[in-house]
Amino acid sequence: MKLIKTALTVALSMAATATIANDTLTLEDLTKIQSVGQTVISPNGDTVAFTRSVPREIYVEKDGFNYSELFLTDAKGNERPFITGKVNISSLEYSADGKFVYFLAKFKEDKFKSLYRIPVDGGQWQKVIALKGTSISSYDLSPDNKKIAIIAKPAKPKSDKKLKELGFKAETYELGLTNSELMITDLAVTDDALTLDGMALNTYVSDVNWSSDAQQLLVKTQPSALIDDKYMKSTWHVYDLAQQKTVMSFATEGKLGDAEFSPSGDFVAILGAEDKHDPATGRLYIANTKTGKIENWLPNFEGHVSDFEWSNKSDTLNFVAQIDTESFIATIKPGSTKYKTTLKRGKLIAGRLSISDSDKTVAFAGHSRKHPTEAFMLRGKKDIRVSNSNAWLSDKRLAKQETITFNAQDGTRLDGVLVYPLDYQEGTRYPLIMSVHGGPESHDKDGWVTNYSRPGQVAAARGYAVLYPNYRGSTGKGVDYSKLGQNDYAGEEFNDLVRFKQHLVDKGLVDTKRVGITGGSYGGYASAWAATKLTEHFATSVMFVGVTNQLSKFGTTDISNEMHLVHARSYPWDKWQWYLERSPIYWAGQSKTPLLIMHGKDDPRVHPAQSMELYRYMKVQGKDVRLIYYPGEGHGNKRMAAKYDYSLRLMRWMDNYLLDGKTEMPAYEIDHAAKLKAKKEETK
């Protein structure tokens, strides 16, 4: 038995270190994956305008974010590139007559982001509105296209720049923040940059939507620019343009998402939380605009609604719901709690909706086990894929993927997404990488699960099983389930990770001694906990932007109020010792699990010092630990070079311990110079 296991280890190691076959997914392939962002249906329902995220080429292009290009496609998937190259197109809207697509962009000649439009029949884009001294953050066209609502920050005084040059740069923490303002103006092509006055709301405006008669606006506000206020203190209001005042506000508690008027104006659909302790905006509310009464439209719904869009010809709401590891699209009418499914569960993981004027065609972005996010049309109950961002993926062999479900000892239902090793052979035990989602108000869905920090199909091609566990406290199963981890940091929620491991060991799939774990944010917390408190269960760990000290985390994050209300349900000074003992630093001395820590150096959510604390606690006590910082990156890497570097380090760390069976840490250097040289030779 020992001989068989050793032979398997050597074979897997050779597969990982040799040149990976061209028909399997590699880390280099991940740097080329494109995906669809926003999708908007034309008024007549014949075409979809969409943005496509295009990565920069590693070792060739200057460091930066992905480009965002504009395409149009018809129901047969005939794509037409409209604006491509080194551009960043966002916030698409069709004109009411369908002749133009409006968008936000900042081209080379622009100092600030402005509103543009491009004719759908072809032709050059045209600047419509620019603001003097500031960028347009977002906008909404009135249904009759006579007006436009703009959200932007006021232009900075000219003296600010001069004073900064003179060295006056003192900052008062969390004070002196600039509010985003709401501005209303005529929708007309204007050559000169405008100076617009913000409406007298005296608060931070984060979103806006018109009523169908263009007489009222839904305006979302929060007390300040602080992210904590956005999360926990937002409110939707009805603003009457004729009266120039707010005539109604909707009393909701806790987190708050989108809102939209029904076509008749009688109702407003709102995404929100059940209460201030609900960690997610997954409850669908309906508000009466005559009485202001608001009620839960789908009480006790054991899933989470993620998006909605009213039909145009009737007060019928189309919505997307996430339930367990799947999603569906359905319609519902005011006065009823029964919905009709139009896209069944298990077909796609659906995103934001857009409805044609006739209500017969719905556009949405969606992904599946076989492909990243693409553009889709839904006509009746027939879904049509209308984009193909990665045609080369059809030549790649992808491993089997499925949802697994079982009950914990206390009866709690657990599920997750399992990617089998490519060329899996029943009866063989494989190394496992457990990839833990953050939040914890999130959940992994049974769609495309592979990216730079979550190895999925890339690891499967190297001989790993990969598991994405939805531990208790995850979303997708209703509010009560999503609260199961509250007031119990690192308690049963992370014990569930051991249960997932044991479940796969009991199935005969996983080698219990070759299990690695990784995750970011709250998943990083889980990875640090696994490397310290749960060290006997995990052979290696990679922590990304994770929590290591719950005492100092509270004082260094920008979401302390949110942490208190929807996670901790207490304050550190209420129980100092408890918080300390729920921190990985407390258990660092007992760690036997080699830990690779990676963190964005400019992270506002989980301060980079969280990583340094655990690094120092482990290093001083002689543990195998390494810390990598990414300058310019925040709570997750956004630039392709940092993403690729992260992927290389993640898989090298896992391979070192789980495939190669080594006990010493791998080299810390990545020979990017050699890769750069090879790239230059390749392009000659």
Check residue 41 and give its pLDDT.
98
pLDDT bucket at 21, cuts 50 / 70 / 90 = low
Measured CA to CA, the distance from residue 680 to residue 684 in angstroms comes to: 6
Q: Would you kindly state where each structural domain of the chain is located, as residue ranges?
A: 393-681
Check residue 1 and give its pLDDT.
38
Backbone angles phi, psi at 614, to 5 degrees: -70, -40
Check residue 251 and give its pLDDT.
84
* Partner residues linked to 366 by β-bridges: 350, 374
User: What is the separation of C-alpha 458 from the centre of its chain, rounded to a whole number of angstroms?
Assistant: 20
pLDDT in tens, 81-112: 999 999 999 999 999 999 999 999 999 999 99
Check residue 448 and give its pLDDT.
98
CA geometry: angle 99, 217, 292, nearest 5 deg: 140
- Range 171-177 average pLDDT: 92
Asked whether residue 488 carries a pLDDT value surpassing 50, the answer given is: yes
- Evaluate whether the domain defined by 393-681 bears CATH number 3.40.50.1820: yes
Q: Which of 169, 172, 174, 170 is nearest to 555 (CA)?
A: 174
Measured CA to CA, the distance from residue 465 to residue 515 in angstroms comes to: 10
Asked whether residue 684 carries a pLDDT value surpassing 90, the answer given is: no
pLDDT in tens, 619-632: 999 999 999 999 99
Q: How far is CA 481 from CA 117, 298, 475, 476, in A?
A: 45, 16, 7, 9
pLDDT in tens, 285-315: 999 999 999 999 999 999 999 999 999 999 9
Asked whether residue 161 carries a pLDDT value surpassing 80, the answer given is: yes
Average pLDDT score, the chain: 95
Q: Are strands 540-544 and 510-520 parallel, antiparallel or unpaired?
A: parallel
Check residue 14 and give its pLDDT.
41
Q: How far is CA 278 from CA 306, 313, 478, 489, 514, in A?
A: 15, 34, 10, 16, 37
Check residue 11 and give its pLDDT.
43
Measured CA to CA, the distance from residue 205 to residue 152 in angstroms comes to: 9
- Range 545-562 average pLDDT: 96
Instruction: Please tell me whether the peptide bond between 572 and the residue prior to it is cis, using omega within 30 degrees of 0.
Output: no
Measured CA to CA, the distance from residue 101 to residue 117 in angstroms comes to: 5
Q: Exposed/middle/buried for 274, CB within 10 Å: 0-12, 13-18, 19+?
A: buried
Asked whether residue 204 carries a pLDDT value surpassing 60, the answer given is: yes
Measured CA to CA, the distance from residue 308 to residue 299 in angstroms comes to: 17
Percent of the chain residues topping a pLDDT of 70: 97
Residue the block writes with tokens 């239902």: 413
Backbone angles phi, psi at 33, to 5 degrees: -70, 130
Asked whether residue 665 carries a pLDDT value surpassing 50, the answer given is: yes
**Under 8 Å CB-to-CB from 114, ≥6 apart: which residues?**
104, 105, 106, 127, 128, 129, 130, 131, 135, 136
User: What is the reported pTM?
Assistant: 0.94
Q: Which of 323, 324, 309, 461 is nearest to 398 (CA)?
A: 461
Check residue 682 and give its pLDDT.
84
Asked whether residue 4 carries a pLDDT value surpassing 50, the answer given is: no
Q: How many helices (H) and strands (E) does the chain have?
A: 14, 35
pLDDT in tens, 257-280: 999 999 999 999 999 999 999 999
Helix axes 522-532, 492-506, angle to 10 degrees: 70
Query: Could you give the count of Cα atoms lying within 13 Å of 581 in the half-sphere of its Cβ?
Result: 6
Percent of the chain residues topping a pLDDT of 90: 93
Check residue 681 and give its pLDDT.
85
> Mean pLDDT lowest for which of 247-251, 395-399, 401-405, 653-657?
247-251
- Range 345-373 average pLDDT: 97
- Range 674-683 average pLDDT: 87
Q: Are strands 204-210 and 181-186 parallel, antiparallel or unpaired?
A: unpaired
Check residue 16 and give its pLDDT.
45
Check residue 12 and give its pLDDT.
46
- Range 566-594 average pLDDT: 97
* Partner residues linked to 520 by β-bridges: 544
